Structure 1
Amino acid sequence: MENERLIKTVQTAFKLSGLNINRKCCLHLARQLRNIDAAEHEHWICRIVEYVLAQDLVEPCVSVDHIKVALKECLRPSNSLQETETILNVLDGFRVPKIKYDVTNKKFVIEQSVPNLFSEPVDKSLVIKERLELLWHRTMQNELFAPVKFGEVDTVRVKLRQIEYLLSLSEAKDVYVIGMLAQLTERQYYLEDASGYVKIDLSQADYQAHLITEGCVVLVRGDYEDRVLVVKTIGFPPSETSTESRARFGTANTFGGHHPVSLKTSEKLRNFEENNPDEMIVFISELWVDDQIVLEKLKLMLEEFSNFPPVAFVICGNFLSFPPNVTSSQKLKEGFKRLADIIAGYPEIVQNSKFVLIPGPHDPGAPRIFPRAPIPGYVVEDFIKAIPKTVLATNPCRIQYCTKEIVVFREDILTKLCRNTLYLPDDADIPKDYAKSIISQSHLTPMALPTVPIYWKHDQALQLYPTPDLIVVADQFEPYNTEYNECFVVNPGVFSKNDFPFKVYIPGENKIEDSEMEKEDQS
């Protein structure tokens, strides 16, 4: 009788939380609760329900496995982390979840990725379509562009039009349109969306954003006449903060990794982060392992960090000082062995720091298509033997440290953007403009696909929605540190040149420090 009463209590608790639980699961849970004082049953059942809900179920049906996981978490010490609550995790670019807008259900959804380099022709169209849809529906939820509700009078809001609306008219004044810039015929730009395309005249345009290139999604205001949209103003769609974006997903994990819910919601990780305010992540780009002077500079840097080892050294290529040739693999193998010998001289760093290696444009291995596969294992096998905490990462890759989300990308992207931009004034702040561009476009390379080749099935690896806390773009451009819409965008600079610059990120304080090894230290 007592057992039946307990089973009924379990069923009621799960039903009140919107979950379906069968009798087998109830019996399993009731057996586990027999050794607990009856007065505490209700408290334990509530905790188990919370842990089941935290598993981010696809359907509201509870299985015995869900109950076992929940019981395991309940018995875990209160100050310990769950198995998937990692302090530092480097995420594979080929397994980044895709965020897309579900037109049928009228909401943003998350799709898990499976590595697949073999695409169908339709996948190329989907890349452009999904970029457009994401930015269109994100803009439609902005208070300036949101549809007016029935019976509501609002003279401030702006009505966005699709291109098919313009094509149905002979003329229209002062219309707002979102579309992708395309050069369908030589030296003639068009604006296109899923409904059609229209020729545009940019001769009178006021550029409200810089670094606008072919392949960008832009917000245009202008007059439509004689089948041409005469542009008055052109800029990027309004961006939004990470907090605003995440409100649409609840606790769902949009960043990637094994944890079923977003680690930004983990109180244990937040407490760990706050209790370790001095933890650091060091970012280095262009570390030439075949250059003795560069290795000596790195040794001096490691000496400085030896007493307080960072959580990780994130090192981006290129790893050789010369363009690729037949000797590259052997030189790289020898250079990494010398690098391992230097790092091995600092046992505290070897024991406490991870070394994340990200390939550069000229490093051997995979073709220059993003996301790019890691450095081949055989090249760094001696390095990994000496430094066990080595991670061979894709380019780009994602790094999660406690509740902070970091995206690292190695590509000389600013040169390409400046070369292809429609308008760039002399007084442009290029780093700031780039930060605005990628965050507004929610993409690391908002350009035409021929300019920056991407695996069509893995465009989400370069997606920036919701916006992370830190974006590291390792570029040949001079070092910079800028912020836009509550997100840091930084470039460590070329370590092997000038004053050997690098960046230090302090997650506990959410702060970036500029660092360098001065020239006069050279021996």
Structure 2
Amino acid sequence: MDPATPRHPAHLQMGAPDPIPSSSPAFGTPARPFRVHKAHAPPTKTSILPILLPPSTLRPVAFRTFTRKHNLTISSSALQTLAVFVGKNCGSGWREEGLAERVLDEVAKVWKRSGGGVIMEEGKGASLKAILQTLEGSMSGGRVAVGKTNPQGGFVSGATIDNAPSDSRPDSHAEEDEDESKLSFHPRNWLKVVDSFDLPRLTYNVDKKYFEAIKSKPSLFPNPSHKTSLFRDRYNLVYQRLLRNESFQSSLGGTGVPSLKRAPSNLAMQQSYKLTPIANLLGRTGSSHLLLGLLSISPTGDLSLVDLTGSVALDLSHARMIPEDGAWFAPGMIVLVDGIYEEEEMIRGSVLGGNAGVGGTIGGHFVGVSICGPPCERREISLGTSTRQGSSEVSANGGFGWVDFLGTGSERAQGARMRRIQEKCLQTEPESMAPPARLRIAILSEVNLDNMKTLDALRKVFSTYNDLAISERPQTFVLMGNFVQKAIINGGGRAGSIEYKEYFDSLAVVLSDFPALLQHSTFVFVPGDNDPWASAFSSGAASAVPRQPIPELFTSRIKRAFAAAASELDRTHASETPGEAIWTSNPARFSWFGPVHDIVIFRDDISSRLRRTAIDTQVDSDEPDSSMHETLEDDAVSIVPEADGHDDGSKHQMLPTPAANSARKLVKTILDQGTISPFPLLGAACLVGPRFSVAALPITHGPRFGRC
């Protein structure tokens, strides 16, 4: 061998990134083996001998990990799937080395971050099979080789889970640790407009006491059976919410409910309220009962009350409203009625007693003494969380914190993380003493573009906001229809369409004069009854909701105005995205920071419809004081805030104006009913059978307003 010839190949002397020696002398096999750097070492995968692990054997570990640590409930089918997975990938060391507990802990974390429900099974917001399939490719020696997951539940390679016990791991903030430095901390980037047609369709399962996703495709022309199930689902929602109210929970050990108010002589004998099914009224004539049911019109045209067991004729001629003139009561609403039942044989010659057997109606009638709406509950009670101080702890009352109502993540899965992001987005400079920034929304309704005065008024409004600093401008402008005073497109043909487009072109000219607003704000357009395409067949009358957004045919000029403003944007703030125009449905929801804030935007004349269909009752001045009256009146006062936006606890406050009283009345009605459209569809509805009769009632229905 030539002494000048190097003993090792050139690429090995230069420290090539892949120094794998050859096994042939002709290729310069080194005299001694190279020391391979750990960074370039091929991954070693320890072989595991699979075992057959019974689900009953894994149950204690699963209960300790899922239930006690992560507040999850695992179904039997999911436990069977996990037992097969642990036996295959952890082998005989699943118990002695604690491999199973670490794997189950990682599965629980990914399940929660993926928006899964509180019950771990397929179809509860996440796919357990997909999680295990991804996790299996990242395991080595019974341990997970990747320990950092993204918010969508996938895995990011390059990190390794430590071998410490799961109890010594960091808290929930460390579990959700991710590279938040790459996220945008501008508030407008965390705004999401949820279209009504994109809203997750959920139904309440009475047996499982939980919400489930509806697999069928939504349609404005569903099967006739949906007409009955619609009101049955609404009744179940109100009923399960009412049972969480402390006034309807039975006391334990003889102690009463703290919120109930009795006479001083009866303080020692406090008790909760009990609901009586309508079918149980038979044979109990002359007795007082509290009923929960749906106000409807019977086939004979009389007012009746319906629940899941039957219906009864209702007499509200002497009923008292709680609170007085504080809410609307119309057919299609679910109400609480306190009164006395009188059987049919006690009514001689009465028309009300002659409807027995029609649509499940029992004989006799129910004389109402008082009527009120089912009290609503606060958000944290519905979700079963305590988030007043930024925590997400599970309360003792359960709740629906794991349900993703808007498609943006559930409260328990994303709430804590989104609140941390909100604090970073709204925080001010450290040296300044100014309060944190606020989220601002400007809402403009009845923007009639066919009226020149409206365009002049819009110009003045935009000019006022344009003169403000960027931090003081609204992040979002909501422009709501009707955008024309008359539904010209229903009979105008091509000329009507061209004229309607010219109105939006005029609005684009006005918006182009304020490029700063177009660059730093989001504009949302919500249609009305006179806007296409609902007006094409309704002629401007109330049409079925939700209504489709305005077609892109009429909005091209406005989109070009936003594109021109974005091209001139000085990107000094790299984290901020340019402004945009969003054309959404009616109604729609605004989700800000995921499940932290959500707002319902609905353009409809609900007050007029309630005035036309509301029932009339007479107030009996000789009515004795009742604890239910006092309790529900107190609840009504606590539900509706004061006119000035806060309550200082003093009794001497400014009396609200008639407009404020009307607004309170409408808000309380919607909150109590849990829907923005508490009306029947077409005719009287029945919860116990498909019996309907045609009546002159509005044909409208909207999505749920409340959480549950």
Q: How would you bin the TM-score normalised by the shorter chain? A: 0.7 to 0.9
Deviation, structure 1 residue 322: 3.0
The one-letter code matched in structure 2 to 1:197 is S
- 2:221 corresponds to 1:106: no
Distance (whole Å) between structure 1 residues aligned to residue 181 and residue 242 of structure 2: 41
Aligned: 1:431 with 2:634: no
CA contact (8 A) 2:332 2:679 kept: yes
Question: What letter matches 1:339 in structure 2?
Answer: L
Question: Alignment partner for residue 138 of structure 1, among 211, 228, 241?
Answer: 241
2:112 equivalent in structure 1: 53
SS of the residue corresponding to residue 340 of structure 2 reads strand
Offset from partner CA, 1:259-313 (integer Å, 9 cap, x none): 3656544233332454262442111111122222211211121122224342211
Tell me the secondary structure at the aligned position of residue 289 of structure 2: strand
CA 1:79–1:219 in 2, change beyond 3 Å: closer, same or farther?
A: farther
Q: Which shifted more, 307-316 or 176-185?
A: 307-316
Which position in structure 1 is the counterpart of 2:449?
Answer: 289
Q: How does 1:166-245 map to 2 (within 5 A)?
A: 166=281, 168-185=282-299, 188-209=302-323, 210-226=327-343, 227-245=364-382
Distance in 2, Cα, partners of 1:260 & 1:24:
32
The one of 342, 347, 359 aligned to 2:527 = 359
Give the letter for the 2:453 counterpart: I
| Counterpart position of 2:265 | none
Is the 2:319–2:617 Cα contact (8 Å) retained in structure 1? no
Post-superposition CA distance 1:63-105 (Å, at most 9, x none): 344767443497852344499x961001011232345432222
Describe the shift of the 1:15–1:107 C-alpha distance in structure 2 as closer, same or farther (beyond 3 A). closer
Counterpart position of 1:77:
179
The residue number in structure 1 matching 2:636 is none
Q: Are the aligned partners of 2:319 and 2:618 in contact in 1 as well (CA < 8 Å)?
A: no
Inter-CA distance 313–13: structure 2 relative to 1 (3 Å threshold): farther
Q: Deviations over 1:419-475 (max 9, x none)?
A: 2211389979221111110001101121222444346xxx5xx212228xxxxxxxx
Identity %: 24
Structure 1 residues 81, 13: CA separation in 2 closer, same or farther (over 3 Å shift)? farther
Match of 2:194 among 81, 91, 103: 91
Give the CA deviation at 1:158: 1.0
Displacement of 1:379: 1.6
- Look up the SS of the partner of 1:418 in the other structure: helix
Q: What's 2:475 paired with?
A: 311
Rounded to whole Å, the distance in 2 between the matches of 1:466 and 1:320 is 34
Q: Aligned match of 2:676 in 427, 436, 444?
A: 444
Structure 2 CA distance, aligned partners of 1:354 and 1:50? 35
Whole-Å separation in 1 of the counterparts to 2:232 and 2:499 = 43
Q: Which amino acid aligns with 1:406?
A: I
Q: What letter is aligned with 1:157?
A: S
Alpha-carbon separation, structure 2, partners of 1:64 and 1:289: 55
Give the direction of change, closer, same or farther, for the CA distance of 1:251–1:107 in structure 2 (3 Å limit).
Answer: closer
Matched residue SS, 1:387: helix
Q: Which amino acid aligns with 2:475?
A: V
Q: Aligned match of 1:269 in 421, 425, 441? A: 421
The correspondence of residues 458-469 of structure 1 with structure 2, limited to 5 A, is: 459=702, 462-466=703-707
**Cα distance per residue 1:224-269 (max 9 Å; x no partner):** 0121101000110121111111114454244312436565442333
In the TM superposition, what whole-angstrom CA distance separates every residue of 1:348-387 from its partner, at most 9, and x where no partner exists? 2222212111110111203621111111221212222322
Amino acid aligned to 1:230:
V
Instruction: Map 1:12-31 onto structure 2 (within 5 A).
Output: 17-18=65-66, 20=82, 22=85
Name the CA distance, whole Å, in 2 between partners of 1:378 and 1:235: 47
Please give the TM-score of this superposition, normalised by the length of structure 2.
0.56
Please state how far the C-alpha of 1:330 moved relative to its aligned partner: 2.1
**1:410–1:328 CA distance, 2 compared to 1 (3 A):** farther
1:38-83: CA deviations, max 9, x gaps? xxxx999978863443113454553344767443497852344499
Letter in 2 for 1:120: N
More divergent stretch after superposition (13-22 vs 200-209): 13-22
Q: Mean alpha-carbon deviation: is it higher for 381-390 or for 111-120?
A: 111-120
1:330 to 484, 498, 503: 498
Residue 490 (structure 1) aligns with:
none
Greater CA drift, 206-215 or 101-110: 101-110
Q: Tell me the amino acid that sits aligned with residue 89 of structure 1.
A: K
Q: Which amino acid aligns with 1:213?
A: A
Give the 3 Å change call, closer, same or farther, for CA 268–332 of structure 1 in structure 2: farther
Matching residue of 1:392: 583
| 1:188 CA drift (Å) | 1.9
Taking the aligned partners of 1:54 and 1:445, their CA distance within structure 2 comes to 34
The residue type equivalent to 2:557 in the other structure is D
Structure 1 pair 408–49 and aligned structure 2 pair: CA distance change class (3 A): same
- Residues 64 and 107 of structure 1, relative CA distance in 2, 3 Å threshold: closer
Distance (whole Å) between structure 2 residues aligned to residue 172 and residue 292 of structure 1: 65
Count the aligned residue pairs.
Answer: 443
Residue 132 of structure 1 aligns with an amino acid whose one-letter code is: Y
CA shift digits 1:378-437 (9 cap, x unpaired):
121222232251211111001111221100000011111112211389979221111110
Q: In the alignment, what sits opposite 1:257?
A: 407
**Matched residue SS, 1:269:** helix
| Residues 76/345 of structure 1: CA separation in 2 closer, same or farther (3 Å cut) | farther
Cα distance between partner residues in 2 of 1:113 and 1:96: 14
1:369 paired residue among 544, 556, 565: 544
Q: Answer yes or no: is the 8 Å Cα contact 1:94–1:113 preserved in 2.
A: no
Out of 595, 600, 605, the residue aligned to residue 407 of structure 1 is 600
Tell me the amino acid that sits aligned with residue 342 of structure 1: V
> How many Å separate the matches in 2 of 1:156 and 1:75?
48
Q: 2 CA distance for matches of 1:177 and 1:269? A: 46
The letter for the 2-side match of 1:183 is: I
1:120 maps onto 2:228 in alignment: no
After superposition, the Cα gap between the structure-2 partners of 1:49 and 1:99, relative to the gap in structure 1 and judged at 3 Å, is closer
Q: Alpha carbons of 1:51 and 1:311: their partners in 2 closer, same or farther (altered >3 Å)?
A: farther
Supply the distance in 1 between the matched residues of 2:286 and 2:112 (Cα, whole angstroms): 51
Q: Check conservation: 2:196, 2:589, Cα contact below 8 A.
A: yes
Taking structure 1 as the reference length, the TM-score comes to 0.74
Q: Give the stretch that moved more between structures: 409-418 or 274-283.
A: 274-283
Aligned partners of 1:332 and 1:379 also within 8 Å: yes
**Alpha-carbon distance in 2 for matches of 1:218, 1:165:** 18
Structure 1 counterpart SS, 2:287: strand
Please state whether the residue corresponding to 2:528 is helix, strand or coil.
Answer: coil
Counterpart Cα distance in 2 of 1:48 and 1:81: 25
Q: For residues 479-511 of structure 1, give each alpha carbon's deviation from its aligned partner in whole angstroms, at most 9, with x where no partner exists.
A: xxxxxxxxxxxxxxxxxxxxxxxxxxxxxxxxx
CA deviation after TM superposition for structure 1 residue 116, in Å: 2.6
1:478-489 equivalences in 2 (<5 Å):
none
SS for the counterpart of 2:311 is strand
Residue pair 1:444, 1:463 contacting (<8 A) in 2 also: yes
**Rounded Cα–Cα distance in structure 2 between residues aligned with 1:71 and 1:15:** 25
CA, structure 1 residues 111+267, in 2 after alignment: closer, same or farther (shift >3 Å)? farther
Q: Who is 2:125 aligned against?
A: none
- Name the SS of the counterpart of 1:215 in structure 2: coil
- Residue identity matched to 1:257: G
List gaps (5 residues or longer) in structure 1. 28-41, 468-523
Q: Distance in 2 between matches of 1:126 and 1:48?
A: 36
Gaps (5+ residues) in structure 2? 1-42, 51-57, 67-78, 91-100, 123-127, 136-148, 157-174, 257-269, 344-363, 385-397, 428-435, 538-542, 564-579, 620-657, 683-696
- CA contact under 8 A between 2:679 and 2:700: conserved in structure 1? no
Which residue identity does 2:705 align to in structure 1? L
Alignment of 1:479-518 (within 5 A): none
Paired with 2:410 and 2:272, the residues of 1 have a C-alpha distance of: 38
Which residue in the other structure is 2:7 paired with?
Answer: none
Deviation, 1:126, is: 0.8
